[in-house]
């Protein structure tokens, strides 16, 4: 299986790896910093380089039975080759900012209203989150987004930690989605917005809430008696 380097360091932009499987345009590496699509976050893109100058564009990344699958465009690649990967960093950094934004939003509505997440999706120019929230309108949504911006301005540090799965029983609030979606693993990865909120999550995040930038409520939609959808946009920020 592939060692997902992004799980421990979301700011890793380059890495070295070896090809362990190659089937046409789909290859598996022994390790990768490319994030595979999942959890509402789009996959990374970028380039793989060989020592002889050949290079391949990575257009999509997904999880497969043998590891993390990279869809490539370029010359033939063989098992055993060593490659150097570079991420499309502006794309990744944008996804990280939006993902952290959604975590802050989830934290606000959970602590204020006890609402859970029923869905979400990150795009490269906006994000949406679905919430179990029966009493919800534009006024409430604007109040929630105002609180999200207040948390962002506090510049809270964000850390990644791993906890035993048994912690779910002692801290049920770590999971805000359907528990059946939580992977059957011995350890859970937790994103800890220190002093505010902690949630189990497999995505990539910024190191401080301030990096999210200013959040604007784009629109809200009623998706049922209890399901409400918010669309958010972020002010542009140049990646570090």
> pLDDT digits over 8-57, tens only?
999 999 999 999 999 999 999 999 999 999 999 999 999 999 999 999 99
Q: Are residues 108 and 209 in the same domain?
A: yes
Q: Are residues 8 and 46 in the same domain?
A: yes
pLDDT of residue 199: 92
Query: 186 versus 197: which is more confidently predicted?
Result: 197
Does 219 reside within a domain? yes
C-alpha 37/C-alpha 162 separation (Å) is 21
Mean pLDDT for 76-89 is 97
The pTM score is 0.94
Q: Closest by alpha carbon to 234, among 101, 39, 89, 93?
A: 101
How distant, in Å, are the alpha carbons of 95, 98, 194 from that of 40? Answer: 10, 11, 23
CATH number for the domain including 61? 2.40.30.130
Does 239 reside within a domain? no
CATH number for the domain including 213? 3.30.980.10
Q: Closest by alpha carbon to 17, among 44, 43, 49?
A: 49
Mean pLDDT for 194-211 is 96
pLDDT of residue 166: 79
Does 46 reside within a domain? yes
pLDDT of residue 157: 98
Instruction: Pick the last residue of a domain from 69, 87, 105.
Output: 87
Q: How many CB atoms lie within 10 A of CB 240?
A: 9
Name the domain count of the chain.
2
Instruction: Pick the last residue of a domain from 53, 87, 121.
Output: 87
Least confident of 60-69, 154-163, 170-179, 223-232: 170-179
Q: What is the mean pLDDT of the chain?
A: 93
Does 240 reside within a domain? no
Long-range CB pairs of 46-55 (<8 Å, 24+ gap) are 46/85, 46/86, 46/87, 46/88, 47/85, 47/86, 48/72, 48/74, 48/77, 48/83, 48/84, 48/85, 49/83, 49/84, 49/85, 49/86, 50/81, 50/82, 50/83, 50/84, 51/82
Q: Are residues 125 and 219 in the same domain?
A: yes
Note down the domain range covering 59.
3-87
Does 70 reside within a domain? yes
Q: Are residues 120 and 70 in the same domain?
A: no
Q: Are residues 226 and 155 in the same domain?
A: yes
Instruction: Pick the last residue of a domain from 87, 112, 142.
Output: 87
Q: Are residues 220 and 110 in the same domain?
A: yes
Q: Are residues 48 and 129 in the same domain?
A: no
């Amino acid at each position: 299986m592939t060692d997902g380097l992004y799980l421990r360091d979301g700011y890793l932009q380059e890495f070295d790896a070896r090809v362990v499987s190659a089937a046409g345009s789909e290859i598996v590496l022994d390790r990768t910093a490319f994030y595979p699509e999942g959890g509402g976050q789009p996959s990374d893109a970028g380039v793989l380089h060989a020592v002889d100058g050949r290079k391949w564009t990575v257009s999509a990344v997904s999880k497969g039975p043998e590891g993390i699958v990279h869809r490539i465009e370029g010359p033939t690649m063989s098992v055993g080759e060593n490659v150097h990967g570079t991420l499309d960093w502006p794309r990744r950094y944008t996804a990280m900012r939006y993902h952290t934004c959604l975590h802050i939003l989830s934290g606000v509505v959970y602590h204020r209203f006890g609402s859970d997440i029923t869905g979400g999706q990150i795009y490269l120019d906006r994000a949406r989150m679905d919430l179990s929230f029966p009493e919800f309108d534009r006024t409430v949504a604007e109040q929630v987004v105002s609180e999200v911006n207040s948390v962002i301005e506090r510049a809270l540090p964000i850390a990644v930690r791993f906890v035993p799965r048994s912690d779910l029983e002692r801290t049920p609030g770590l999971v805000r989605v359907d528990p059946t979606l939580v992977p059957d693993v011995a350890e859970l990865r937790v994103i800890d917005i220190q002093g505010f909120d902690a949630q189990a999550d497999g995505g990539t995040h910024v190191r401080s809430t301030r990096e999210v930038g200013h959040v604007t409520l784009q629109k809200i939609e009623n998706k049922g008696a209890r399901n409400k959808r918010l669309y958010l946009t972020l002010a542009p920020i140049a990646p570090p």
